Amino acid sequence: MSLPSHSPLIHQIKTVSQPPSSSAQTAQVRAHIDSHFSDLDALLHPHSQSDSLQGQNKSQSQSHAGPSRRRKRGLAEEISYWVDREHKAASELEETSKTLPQQLADTQTRLQTLLSSAQELSLQRYKIADQLAHLVADLSSSSSPGADAADDDPIREQHDQGQGQRKGKEIAARASSETILEQLEGLQAELGRLEAGLAWARVLEQVVVLSERTLDPSSHNPSALSAIPHYRDLHDLVTRLENVLPPQMALMGVVREIKGRTWQGLKDLLSESLLKACEALGWPKKVIYEDVPLESRRTFERAYQDLLYLQTEGDDLHGEERPKHWSAGVGLYPLQAMVKPIELRFKYHFQGTKGTNRVDKPEWAFANILDQIYEHQNFLSSYLQPLTTRAGYEEISIKSEFTLLLLPILLSLLRSRIPHLLDHPALLAHTIYQTVVFDEAVKEGGFELDSTSIYESREGGDWEGLAGVVLREEDWYAQWLEGEKKFANNQLNEIISSPEAWAISDESQENEDGDNQSSGVKPTISARQVKALIEQVTDRYAPLPELTYKLPFLLSIQLPILQTYHTRISGSLDAFETLSSAFVRAVPGALAGNTRSGIHIDQTRLTTGRNGLERLIKAWLSGRWVVEGMRKWSDDLFFVELSADFSAASSIKWKYAHEPLLPASIKGTSAVAGTPASASASVFDILIERYDNLTYRAEDMIVRLVTVEVENELKQHLTRRWDLPPSTEISEPSSHLLSSMTTYTSHLTTLSSLLPPLVVSRLYRKVVDHLLNHILQRGVYAGWSKFTEHGGRDFQNEVSEWKQVSSSALSSSSSSQSEMGLELSGYPVPVGAAWKKLEDIAKVLVLPTGQTQSQPGVGAGVRDGNTNANTNAIPAVTATFAEAMASAWDGENGLNTFKERLGVELSREELQAILRRRVECWR
């Protein structure tokens, strides 16, 4: 096979082997001479150079093709130089010409060999490509339509006809090999995972080895604390892994779990040692440390301090990992160990089959824990507290820490028991109440959350108690509240419907509370029981930790009970007004009587006389007793704080903004926006106002009943004639007058025996004012006849009798009496002052018509028994009817002088009107 003519190598060889042309040689010679010899002189006489430079130029001439640039050769030297070069080149050409044919033959042979080898390799390449394409097609998981199309392509039929066919096959082979690449990638990924697993296995091996080395008994000599260096190595390894690996890796959780179990194993070993040492002390029974042998005490103290040292090491390594809530049961390691026997005993007695496990007696379980706290407090404070302080836990109170670790025991009991009590409201309410009582006992025992290890050097806040934790569980609080509400409402219904509900109790406010708050008010039985019921509810929820737990009891139980009782009293007053003739002019026939179970009931007997008055007094006493209780509660610290906390709790005010029984000053819904709540505002303000209005209404009804009945009796008497001439016969008092005074005395006696003196005084003044006005209008100004001097004396005697019966009735419950007033339990009842105006009128009506006479007392001593009563009441005067007439229509000076002489306090108009009632009046 011949080489191609256009081969660059052959062309180069041919070009080099041809001799140069004569013209080219001539041109090169001319160029050389022109560059080295500028003129003929330079060619014929070259400049000589120094000897030093000759040696240097000589060495340089051997390495350059032309003459030296520093020393110019002459013509002869130049010709000699090139002749030598020609001979040398001719010899080299001859030698080359001899070896060239053989070199060309060898080269051609080698090229033929290489070309044959290249063709064979090309054929093998295409064959391997075809085999690879078939292999990829066979190994592919799914057939490739492109491959089938490539098999039918006419290019494939012309496999040996061109290079384009081979490129198409290569492309098809690459397309078919994609599935193999994917498999290779999968295998590569699997290999990476296996390598990572191998690396993790090696890491886990190190972790497990360090963990086993830490828990190996051979590393615990002389105690388990000797294994702490091994644990430190484990901790350092885990820390390095946490620094370089993402925390969400599952295997990191495994490593942390191994580390945690290792630490817990160390803790359990030391805890077992402490419990063994506690057996010599008699724990968990009461420990008398002084009686324990010295060696046993040293063993216990060493085990106790070892656990504290372990906890200190744990804090240094792990940091202070404090739980989020106190109920986690985490605390000082030695106390956690010592609580275990107590917990086992508790579960045996109160969570097992023993008779002490009774759902109706939760107080037994609470008492057991309280006993543990009380029995061990001396041992804890006197011995364990110094040991703990020396270990570096100076701010921790061992008693509070011990109490804290006992609380989860009770929480476990409550969480397992309460779900079974949800269908039994009474048991549920009792259990939660006992929980609240226990919380109060723990607080009173000096428990402080800030003095425990989980709140060391940080603010712990107020302890919410077991009740605070339990009431957050699901709907337990709502069901407890519903049960308490139902119980309270049933109690209220029993109180109101009791036959003795409105009977007056013998005990008074001052006897019950010892504070003389209501001035001796005697309550009805229902009022006393309602007040006790409200206080009972307060005792049940007062210890609750949060305002959100307290408010529902107040708003859904206590205030509605007070409102219901108020409605009941108000309803009884409404019925009284409807049935009593003192308040309606005509009573319908159907209301005149009533029949129950075949027994006729006369309603008028229930609303008149002493019975009717006592009913009104009972309503007043009931309302007054409750309102005094609410005033006392308003000043109680608990309700003061409750009102203040609610006023400041803006986050929950919206929830109770529409509560009708809460005052606007507390809800923050006052008329003026931004007005702060009053500091003296109380949650009972609205109900206090309603009960006050109720008692005022009852007082008005009492006055109305007394005055109407007395005026009805007095009505016929006031129609008598006052202008009859004097008679020598002794006149008997009018039966109507006696009847009215009897009714009046009976009512006053009833009032003074059942009501406080201050109230009696207020009611007495109102009653007398009504009677005075009635007597004046019906007996003085609108009488059947005018007055004579004798008639005036009769009227004056009647006024004295009214005053006397008043004094007798009011003094029935008093030991001291005076002519113008008397003292009842320290409160003055001004008997005489109430009748002063009518006495002044009587003084004017009794003025003599004739000459002035000095009298010891105008109109005094007319009837027996009245002399002493009137001697001090009516001063001696010297005045006549004519002088009174002149003074009444005279100037101010004369009028004032006359009134001072007579001792009366009447205006000019009143004096003139009274004088006109005398028959002698000429104006």
| Structure confidence by residue, pLDDT tens digits, 379-437 | 999 999 999 999 888 889 999 999 999 999 999 999 999 999 988 888 988 998 899 99
The full set of domain ranges for the chain reads 254-458, 480-508+520-585+604-669+681-691, 720-730+747-813+830-849+878-922
Give ∠ CA 886-892-893 in degrees, rounded to 5.
85
Does the pLDDT value for residue 495 go beyond 70?
Answer: yes
CA separation (Å) from 804 to 799, 835, 856? 9, 11, 20
Does the pLDDT value for residue 595 go beyond 70?
Answer: no
Q: Give me the mean pLDDT over the 183-208 stretch.
A: 85
Please report the pLDDT score of residue 692 as a whole number: 95
Does the pLDDT value for residue 896 go beyond 50?
Answer: yes
DSSP characters for 284-325? TSPP-GGGS-HHHHHHHHHHHHHHHHHHHHHHHHH-----SS
Q: What is the 3-state secondary structure (H, E, C) of 849-918?
A: CCCCCCCCCCCCCCCCCCHHHHHCCCCCCCCCHHHHHHHHCCCHHHHHHHHHHHCCCCCHHHHHHHHCCE
Q: Give me the mean pLDDT over the 722-735 stretch.
A: 72
Would you give the DSSP letter of residue 787? B
DSSP characters for 131-190? HHHHHHHHH-SS--HHHHHHHH-HHHHTTTS-HHHHHHHHHHHHHHTHHHHHHHHHHHHH
Does the pLDDT value for residue 567 go beyond 90?
Answer: yes
Q: Give me the mean pLDDT over the 131-135 stretch.
A: 82
CA distance 822 to 750: 17
The whole model's pTM is what? 0.67
CA distance 283 to 724: 107
Please report the pLDDT score of residue 736 as a whole number: 85
CA distance 847 to 859: 9
CA distance 3 to 314: 89
pLDDT range class, residue 76, cuts 50, 70, 90: confident
Please report the pLDDT score of residue 817 as a whole number: 34
Q: Is 410 helix (H, G, I), strand (E, B) or coil?
A: helix
The mean predicted confidence, pLDDT, of the chain is: 80
Please report the pLDDT score of residue 251 as a whole number: 80
Best CA proximity match to 857, nearest among 906, 780, 793: 793
Range with lowest mean pLDDT among 56-65, 253-262, 337-346: 56-65
| Structure confidence by residue, pLDDT tens digits, 661-692 | 888 888 775 434 344 445 578 899 999 999 99
Q: Compute the residue count for the chain.
A: 923
Please report the pLDDT score of residue 475 as a whole number: 84
Number of H helices, E strands in the chain: 39, 4
Please report the pLDDT score of residue 581 as a whole number: 64
CA distance 135 to 153: 19
Element (H, E) at 599: strand 599-602
Structure tokens at 605: 């007997």
Would you give the DSSP letter of residue 380? I
Structure tokens at 216: 């190996």
Task: Name which residue leads in pLDDT, 309 or 512.
Answer: 309
| Structure confidence by residue, pLDDT tens digits, 618-637 | 999 999 999 999 999 999 99
Q: Is 54 in contact with 137 (CB distance < 8 Å)? A: no
Range with lowest mean pLDDT among 215-224, 468-477, 847-856: 847-856
Q: Is 520 in contact with 509 (CB distance < 8 Å)? A: yes
Does the pLDDT value for residue 150 go beyond 70?
Answer: no
Q: Cis ω on the peptide bond leading into residue 222 (within 30° of 0)?
A: yes
Phi first, then psi, for residue 472 (nearest 5°) are -85, -10
Q: Give me the mean pLDDT over the 590-615 stretch.
A: 61
Please report the pLDDT score of residue 533 as a whole number: 95
